[in-house]
């Protein structure tokens, strides 16, 4: 089968392209607005880009043609926190995806705890296995209205990792029990079913 993206439209295109990169990590992004009101929402168009400088990227689409609260807060305040999602907070993360009014604090609404970050104004979520504080570097607007997306580049300035998910000074993926997103439907996955492959060395022909 051959699929040309230009032949798909709207949700059909969104859902199909979402299934081409699986599983996807979930960025549970917490922000604050200029009035001090907290916000949290999950996004799975998310990746770590570079190490020097340490940068991650989020892609956030419009909601009914308007920028989402997360984007508006990042633009206004200049920072955000990515909280990773494990088995313990996956239900709360999913509930936070509901379309709450702008004046609702989703962190409190879904039963999680907002705590002060070290280097940014946005809060982090206490229950997350680890959280990544980011300062805004740049926002690129891609696409045409009303489906334009905001591509947000964040400079990583601090990480908070729970001791219980560490092994020998590193984040242990088996202990962290991060949850992944599969496609754009209701499917998620656990990341504890793993196997190991050593990095190969090139062997020149004899």
Q: What is the mean pLDDT of residues 20-35?
A: 90
- Cis bond before residue 149 (omega within 30° of 0): no
Examine residue 133 and state whether it is found in any structural domain, yes or no: yes
What is the CB-side half-sphere exposure of residue 38 using CA atoms within 13 A? Answer: 23
Task: Please report the beta strands in the chain, taking only residues with DSSP state E, as ranges in sequence order.
Answer: 24-25, 27-32, 38-43, 46-50, 55-61, 79-84, 114-115, 124-125, 130-142, 149-161, 166-167, 170-171, 179-182, 187-190
Q: What is the mean pLDDT of residues 65-80?
A: 94
Which pLDDT score is estimated for 2?
79
Examine residue 206 and state whether it is found in any structural domain, yes or no: no
Torsion of Cα atoms, 71 then 72 then 75 then 77, to 10°: -110
Q: What is the mean pLDDT of residues 122-127?
A: 98
- For the cut 80, the answer to whether the pLDDT of residue 18 exceeds it is no
- For the cut 80, the answer to whether the pLDDT of residue 121 exceeds it is yes
On whether the pTM is more than 0.85, the answer is: yes
Examine residue 205 and state whether it is found in any structural domain, yes or no: no
Examine residue 78 and state whether it is found in any structural domain, yes or no: yes
Range of the domain at 158: 5-190
Examine residue 24 and state whether it is found in any structural domain, yes or no: yes
> Structurally, how many domains does the chain consist of?
1
pLDDT grade for 5, boundaries at 50, 70 and 90 = confident
Q: Is residue 166 classed as helix, strand or coil in its secondary structure?
A: strand
- For the cut 80, the answer to whether the pLDDT of residue 13 exceeds it is no
* CATH number for the domain that contains residue 47: 2.30.110.10
108 near 46, Cβ under 8 Å? no
Task: Please report the beta strands in 51-202, taking only residues with DSSP state E, as ranges in sequence order.
Answer: 55-61, 79-84, 114-115, 124-125, 130-142, 149-161, 166-167, 170-171, 179-182, 187-190
In this structure, are strands 179-182 and 24-25 parallel, antiparallel, or unpaired?
A: antiparallel
Examine residue 98 and state whether it is found in any structural domain, yes or no: yes
């Amino acid at each position: 089968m051959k699929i040309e993206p230009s032949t798909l439209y709207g949700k059909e295109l969104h859902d199909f392209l979402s299934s081409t990169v699986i599983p996807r990590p979930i960025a549970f992004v917490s922000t604050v607005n200029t009035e001090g009101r907290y916000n949290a929402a999950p996004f799975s168009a998310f990746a770590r880009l570079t190490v020097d400088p340490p940068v991650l990227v989020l892609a956030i689409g419009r909601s009914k043609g308007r920028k989402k609260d997360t984007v508006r807060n990042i633009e206004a305040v200049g920072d955000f926190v990515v909280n990773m999602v494990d088995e313990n907070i996956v239900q709360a993360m999913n509930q936070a995806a509901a379309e709450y009014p702008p004046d609702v604090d989703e962190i409190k609404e879904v039963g999680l705890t907002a705590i002060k970050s070290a280097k940014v104004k946005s809060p982090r979520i206490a229950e997350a296995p680890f959280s990544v504080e980011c300062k805004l570097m740049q926002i690129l607007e891609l696409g045409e209205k009303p489906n334009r997306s905001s591509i947000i580049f964040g400079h990583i300035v601090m990480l908070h990792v729970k001791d219980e998910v560490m092994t020998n000074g590193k984040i242990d993926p088996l202990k962290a029990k991060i949850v992944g997103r599969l496609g754009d439907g209701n499917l998620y996955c656990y990341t504890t079913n793993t196997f190991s492959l050593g990095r190969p060395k090139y062997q020149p022909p004899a």
